[in-house]
Copies of this chain bind each other. A is one copy, B any other.
Amino acid sequence: MSEGLSPALQVALAYYRSWTSKDIGAAMRHLADDIVCDAPAGRIEGVQAYERFLGPFAQMLISAELLAAFGDETKAVLVYDTRTPPVASAPGAECVIVHDGKIVYNRFIFDRLPFEAARRAAD
């Protein structure tokens, strides 16, 4: 499956497959220790902060469907849909930069509004 994939896409897909299978530890091993992630709620710096961001979401994931995956030597983009208890369909996009086999930057895009609405409804 990984033959012919660009170097950045191979890393991005390995990371994605780990976190969507709830193996957050394996996912984190594809990130540089000093990863910078621009997420909807703001900038996340460092792999530990990243794990606190993504881990809880990964744990509640019911399913994820990969819609698109492209990349070149240093950059890759994943687009997927997710299903979780609070939100039946929450698509996301991750645009990552890879150096030396690790993700060093991620622009993480998703709509926070349905999660906010679910939280308010639960309160």
Report the Cα distance A71→B72, complex, angstroms: 11
Q: Among the listed B81, B93, B113, B116, which residue makes an inter-chain contact with A79, where contact means beta carbons less than 8 Å apart?
A: B93
Return chain B residues, CB-CB under 8 Å to A77: 68, 70, 77, 79, 93
The oligomer's copy count stands at 2
- Given the contacts A75-B68, A77-B77, A77-B79, A109 and B92 also touching, CB distance less than 8 Å: yes
Prevailing SS type, chain A contact patch: strand
User: Is A54 on the interface with B (CB-CB < 8 A)?
Assistant: no
Interface residues of A in 89-123 (CB under 8 A from B): 91-93, 95, 107, 109-113, 116
Within 8 A of B (CB), among A49-95: 67-68, 70-72, 75, 77, 79, 81, 91-93, 95
